Amino acid sequence: MTAPIPSLPLARLLSHTADAIQAVRAGHSLNDALSRCPPDARPGTQALSFHVLRWLGSAQAARAWLAPKAPPPPVDALALSALALLWPGGDAPYPAHTLVDQAVSAARQRHNASAPFVNAVLRRFLRERDAIIEAAKRDPVAAHNHPAWWAKRLRVDWPDQWQALLEANNHRAPMTLRVNARRGTAETYVKRLQDEGITAKAFGTHTVVLDLPVPVTRLPGFAQGDASVQDAAAQAAAPLLLSGGLPAHAHVLDACAAPGGKTAHLLELADLDVVALDSDPERLTRIDDTLTRLSLKARTVCADAGDPAAWWDKRPFDAILLDAPCSASGIVRRHPDVRWLRRPGDITTLAETQARLLDALWPTLATGGRMLYCTCSVFKAEGQHQIDAFLQRQADASLINQPPSPGHLLPLPDNGQEASVPALGASPDGFYFALLQKR
């Protein structure tokens, strides 16, 4: 059992967690739900919500066993939250008796008449736990804590790794830092962390993986731009795009750039003329904030990357980074709500958007220029299959062989050390990379 989540009374945190879970089950993102949570309760609520969403399939099967007729959504969300936290193997942060007591207290505060129901469901679960768990193993959604269609797609795409991928999604991702190449190296920053009582390991030149996550306010020099939080797989993008060498002040486009991590990484590594594009004005401000913290400059533009006529000045780009909208199936460890929010048809819709962006941006690339297409997805429809189709459509496009395109990176311990990408550390996020050249 992990250390208890500190701060507010558990009953209050459970109530806020139930609100968040109810919102996700209604189709809203966890981030949106947490934004409505009182600031003092947000850290604890987020921690509990992450846990619940990782075990939601099991909790739903248990509740269906114990109460086949679903209670009203607010009550159901509280019962599911408590059941997920009680599920064996979930490394719950509280003892069972405490969870039951505090869940009943939360039920009284939310809807007093529901307290006996919540109490009966949770106590019966503890009495019949072995039988319920055994039954849950026969339910694919409960066994894997993913929608059945998601598991089926992974099984087709990755017949040897699909179960490991589903298992990996239910574990917390490491907190990984990118050390500003203009300010230091991974080795020197690890020493600075040690001086602050934070243990970490260096991977490659600028990647640091913390042994345990900490608030960014504890990171030395964070406010001054000495380091940024960015997963190791995402850190591969900028070096890959620059791997062939670009002249000083080369004209580079970062399409779909928010929140700005890859834009900043490009500018940390080279003196470039970067246009950072995003269609969401609110997200565009995050790019500006990121660049300001790091004392870097790029031209930020609010526009649809798929409509160059509205923003392109006809000056060809020497390089383009297209981090396309995708299912986020490779970063479920960091966003456990994604699996419950996506629908099977979303993958087709997203693949169509990715194809539209590729075709629209390709004419803006100079002859001899490079485009790096990437998605934080492990689904081949958004990766390998997307690029295979693009190469069929574009006769002047080819995959670069030196360095070879990494292709799919999986969020598994043995899939992060391809020779064509920097040392990524243990278990990076799932990503797809294709480095293309215009002939």
Spatial contact of 430 and 329, defined as CB atoms under 8 Å apart: yes
Domain membership of residue 381 (yes or no) is: yes
Whether 250 and 350 map to the same domain: the answer is yes
Structure tokens at 356: 């539209």
Inform me whether the pLDDT recorded for 361 exceeds 70. yes
Domain membership of residue 2 (yes or no) is: no
pLDDT digits (tens, 9 = 90+) for 114-140: 999 999 999 999 999 999 999 988 999
pLDDT of residue 111: 87
Domain membership of residue 292 (yes or no) is: yes
Domain membership of residue 121 (yes or no) is: yes
Confidence bin at 8 (pLDDT 50/70/90): confident
Residue 403 preceded by cis peptide, ω within 30: yes
Whether 199 and 242 map to the same domain: the answer is no
Whether 224 and 243 map to the same domain: the answer is no
- Give the separation between CA 98 and CA 38, rounded to whole angstroms: 23
Round the average pLDDT of the chain to a whole number and report it: 93
Phi/psi for 75 (5° steps) reads -75, -45
Residue 324 contacts by C-beta under 8 Å, 6 or more apart in sequence? 255, 256, 353, 354, 357, 358, 373, 374, 375, 382
Structure tokens at 197: 């009582």
pLDDT digits (tens, 9 = 90+) for 378-407: 999 999 999 999 999 999 999 998 778 889
Structure tokens at 29: 């993102």
Whether 302 and 408 map to the same domain: the answer is yes
Residue 422 preceded by cis peptide, ω within 30: no
Number of compact structural domains in the chain? 3
pLDDT digits (tens, 9 = 90+) for 219-232: 999 999 999 999 99
Positions marked catalytic: 376
pLDDT of residue 425: 59
Render the burial of 263-284: b for 16+ CB within 10 Å, e for the rest.
bbbbbbbbebbbbbbbbeeeeb
Domain membership of residue 114 (yes or no) is: yes
Whether 274 and 223 map to the same domain: the answer is no
pLDDT of residue 419: 41
Structure tokens at 374: 């990437």
Q: 33: domain CATH number? A: 1.10.940.10
Whether 242 and 223 map to the same domain: the answer is no
Domain end residue (candidates: 229, 252, 269):
229
Whether 384 and 409 map to the same domain: the answer is yes
β-strands 317-323, 176-179: how paired?
unpaired
pLDDT digits (tens, 9 = 90+) for 99-119: 999 999 999 998 899 999 999
pLDDT of residue 88: 85
Q: Which domain holds residue 129?
A: 10-145
Quote the pTM value. Answer: 0.93
Could you identify the residue written with the tokens 């309760």?
A: 41
pLDDT digits (tens, 9 = 90+) for 260-288: 999 999 999 999 999 999 999 999 999 99
Domain end residue (candidates: 167, 195, 229):
229
Domain membership of residue 333 (yes or no) is: yes
Whether 212 and 301 map to the same domain: the answer is no
Rounded percentage of the chain residues whose pLDDT exceeds 70: 95
Q: 408: domain CATH number? A: 3.40.50.150
Whether 364 and 239 map to the same domain: the answer is yes
Whether 282 and 431 map to the same domain: the answer is yes
Q: 195: domain CATH number? A: 3.30.70.1170
Domain membership of residue 156 (yes or no) is: no
Domain membership of residue 208 (yes or no) is: yes
Whether 351 and 385 map to the same domain: the answer is yes
Within 13 Å, how many C-alpha atoms sit on residue 120's CB side? 10
In one letter, which amino acid is 203?
A: F
pLDDT digits (tens, 9 = 90+) for 401-416: 877 888 999 998 866 4
pLDDT of residue 372: 98
Whether 59 and 89 map to the same domain: the answer is yes
Within 13 Å, how many C-alpha atoms sit on residue 214's CB side? 19
